[in-house]
Structures are given as structure tokens and as C-alpha cells.
Chain A
């Protein structure tokens, strides 16, 4: 079972047991993790699922696609080197992932 650690801007942390095949966005939305909105349901057209991916997980996912790159430029909180759209981070069995939620999504 994959596990996601969501760190809020104030440093508080929520751990969620996820389902393999779900994205980090879906997992957050299903479990009521605040700060991840995911308005477009993962169709790469809202940028409201922006997260900062922990250094240690940098190589665990496919790199940023061209479409994701464009949408990241639209995010409400300024993007950083480790910015990802969490709907594009699909979880595999046994994976442990840490993401930090940005200050604002909207």
C-alpha cells in the first residue's frame, strides 16, 4: 500500500494510506486533505493540485511533461524547482511520498 505524507504550509503533517494507481491529488481529495483542490479532476487544466515534491522522491515519478510544465506556470503559488501537479503523480505499491502543500491554490 502506498503512503503519502502531506505537509501543510504551517508544518503540520497528515499521513494517508493510498491505493496503488491513484494519484497524489486523488488521494488528498478523497481523504479531505486541505490545500489540494484538484478542480479539473486530474485533466491537467486547472493547476489547483500544485505541490512541492520532496527531494528524496524526485526520481520516483515520470518527469514533468510539456503540458504539466505549461500548467505549472499558471499555478497560484509561484512554482519552484520541485513543483509538480499532484494529479500527475500516480502512486505505485509500497511507495512512500512526501509532498508540501503550497500557501494558495486559487
Chain B
């Protein structure tokens, strides 16, 4: 059941043309900061629409995830939340969260990522060379958007790039909610665990300059990290690092191909505009593809440990609350002219990578890959164009595109 008070402010709402969806969100946010919604699994959750209210909640430690981790509560979500994801960092609260997070953070920090940029540029160009050499109509997803993040994450973790294909299979399997049987998913996950466990053992023996080595040796700095703690970290990086970044990169290329004006602007200075363009793709890319956009649930929820009033609305102790980035990213109070796709936008407080304690751990890496990925392909192939309709896999939680025909 959804409580709505004013006509035209329903939430959830069915897909509408982007401009209408923006208007709908505007009315919704003028009406109320959040809506109590019943999710297909796990019951009721407050879905928070307004940008500032969302930030307030994300920065408030009275909202925790422990009841979801321990299994005391079912995660209110569209699909049963995969068990293996409930053992990861995003379901930990301080102080355990702080300890794990700090270890990984160092390996994936803005500084470290900056040092990886040159190799990302080189690898992107290798991929482009391949596409140009093969010619004709190419599939942007399998030949560019997916291999780039896989290569970067492999090198960060310390996975040999020869194992890239296996990684891709395991990764997509972990996100399958209907496409694969539970047995198949379990098999893939077991293979991934076994593979990672071996690799961690190798790195314990012979450390290199990579994340798994750093984690495997963290215990020597009195941080007692066990394999059981390292594995979920690797999992969340694999899941978050492949699918999501690949999807954002594809969305970025596609949204630029959909806007002649913004693409022409981008081509005047791809390197200079890549940082703001990447942020704008994160904020608004889904709306810039031209297709209808709906309003539904939000990010992984929290539970209130006490009664908290946010933006005038009481969230009672024990209630679940989730952030809706779709509306928070289009809040006219926080973003000027939110319906406009503007790759030069400077102040862009979108929440696509969340905010607060649980903001995306891989954010620096994801940003860098998007910036490099967008700049390099348009520099090398300025005449890039769409050569067909994208194929979307609807049976997977993240609904990735699997095929995007491009030509030049």
C-alpha cells in the first residue's frame, strides 16, 4: 500500500517520458520528503525523495544495517537480497565497518586510482584499436564497457588478466536473480570463492603490490583479517566493480550519442570535460537515453535505531528507510534545472554513489574509468554512432545492456 495525498505525486509510478517523469518528481518532492512503500520482499520502507533529507539520513549513525546482516529482518527490496551480499561491507556498521573499510580504502583511494589512470588510458586504446581493426558494427558492451573495468579491477585486486573471462562469467552469475538456477549460481559462487581463496593464499606467500596482498598481510599490522573477511570484500568489489561501472560507461556513451548538442560540446575538449560529464551521466544518464523512466524503490535500506524526525517526517524506531537516487538527483532545491543534461555542470550533488559511511567504496575508481572510457572513445572515434537498438537483460538485478551496436 502506498500513501499519497496529492494527485500527480504517486510513488511508485510507472515509466513516463523523461520530461514528464521530472515533472512528476518535482510535484512529489514539493508534496513530501518521503513515501512509505511496501516492497515485494521485506515489507514497508520509507523511500526518501528529497536530496537534503537523503543526505541527512545517510550521514546519521542512528540508521544502521545490522538487522539485515544478522537475518533478523528481511531487506525490503525488489528481489530477495542475495545472501552473499549481506555478508559484505555494506551491511556492516561501525566499528567493524570502519576497520574493514579503512583497509580497502587505502588500496582504492583517489591517490592510488590516479596512479592507475595511465594504464586505464592505454588499455582503453588497446580495446579501441581492436574495434577499429575489426571494423563494421561492433558491440560496445562486450568490446569496451565490460573489459575496461574488469581489467582495472583485476589489476587492483591482483587477478591475472588472463582470468578475465572467468571473472566476467562469475560476476554476472552473482547478480542473476532469474536467469540462472540457484544451483548454477551456487556453483559459480563456489568456483569464485575457491579461485579467490587460492589467490589469497598465493599472495600470503608472495605478496605483490595489489589489494589482495595488502589484505592478506593486514593481520601483521595487528588487524587480524581472515580469509572469511577478505572474501566478501573481494566479492563486493567484483560485483560492484564490473556490472555497475560497465553500465554507467555504456549509459555515458549512449547519452552522448543521443544528444548532438552535448556530444559536439564534449568533442571540443574530451579530457577537460570528462570529469563533469561523468558526474552528469551518474546523475542523469538514465534520463538522457530518451526512453521512459519510472519511479520505484531505492538504494540498500537502513533501520532506525530510535525515533528520528527528518524534514518534518517521523521515522519511528525499527522502521526501514531507503534513499531514492532517481528523485534526489532531480531535486530542484539541490540541482539547478534538473531536467537538463549538462556535461559542464559543476555543482552536482547527486547521490548515485550514495553518501556518508556507505558511499561507494569504488567511487574513485568508477569515476576514473568513466572519465577515461568516455574521453578515449570519443577522441579516437569522433564519428561514433549507434547502429541498432540495445539489448537489455531484464532477468538480472542490475538489468544490464548486453549488446549495444555501434559503428562510425
Is A34 among interface residues, defined by CB-CB distance under 8 A? yes
Verify B347–A32 contact, CB threshold 8 A.
yes
Q: Which residues of A contact B101 (CB under 8 A)?
A: 45
CB of A40 within 8 A of CB of B359, answer yes
Is B59 at the interface (CB under 8 A from chain A)?
A: yes
Tell yes or no: A80 within 8 A of B by CB: no
Q: 1/0 contact trace for A39-65 toward B, CB 8 Å?
A: 111110111100000000000000000
Provided the pairs A41-B55, A106-B367 are in contact, do residues A47 and B357 lie with their beta carbons within 8 angstroms? no
How far does the Cβ of A64 sit from chain B's closest Cβ, in whole Å? 16
Contact A106 B347 (CB under 8 A): no
Q: Most chain-A Cβ atoms within 10 A of its Cβ — which of B55, B101, B349, B364?
A: B364
Q: Is A15 an interface residue (CB 8 A)?
A: no
Known A-B contacts A34-B346, A41-B58, A45-B101; A74 and B356 likewise in contact (beta carbons under 8 Å): no
Given contacts A32-B347, A106-B364, contact A41 B110 (CB under 8 A): no
Chain B residues near A76 (CB-CB < 8 A):
110-111, 114, 364
From A32, which residue of chain B is reached at the shortest CB distance?
B347
Residues of A within 8 A of B353 (CB): 39
B294 to nearest A CB, angstroms? 27
Complex Cα distance, B359 from A75, in Å, reads 16
Across chains A and B, the number of contacting residue pairs, with CB separation under 8 Å, is 63
Q: Count of B residues near A, CB < 8 Å?
A: 25
Q: A70-B102, A106-B367 are in contact. Are A39 and B355 (CB under 8 A)?
A: yes
Q: Is the C-beta of B275 less than 8 angstroms from some C-beta in chain A?
A: yes
Asked if A41 and B355 make an inter-chain contact with CB atoms under 8 angstroms apart, the answer reads: yes
Contact A106 B275 (CB under 8 A): yes
Please tell me if the beta carbons of A45 and B357 are within 8 angstroms of each other in the complex: yes
CA distance A43 to B59 in the complex (A): 8
Residues of B within 8 A of A43 (CB): 59, 98, 356-357
Q: Which residue of A lies closest to B357 (CB)?
A: A43
Contacting residues, chain A, for B98 (C-beta < 8 A): 43, 45
Interface presence of B112 (CB below 8 A): yes
Interface contact B109-A74, CB-CB below 8 Å: yes
Find out whether the CB atom of A105 lies under 8 angstroms from the CB atom of B59: no
A106 touches B110 (CB 8 A): yes
Is A73 interfacial (CB 8 A cutoff)?
yes
- Which 8 pairs across A and B sit closest by C-beta, in order of nearness? A74-B109, A41-B59, A76-B110, A41-B356, A39-B359, A43-B357, A74-B111, A45-B101
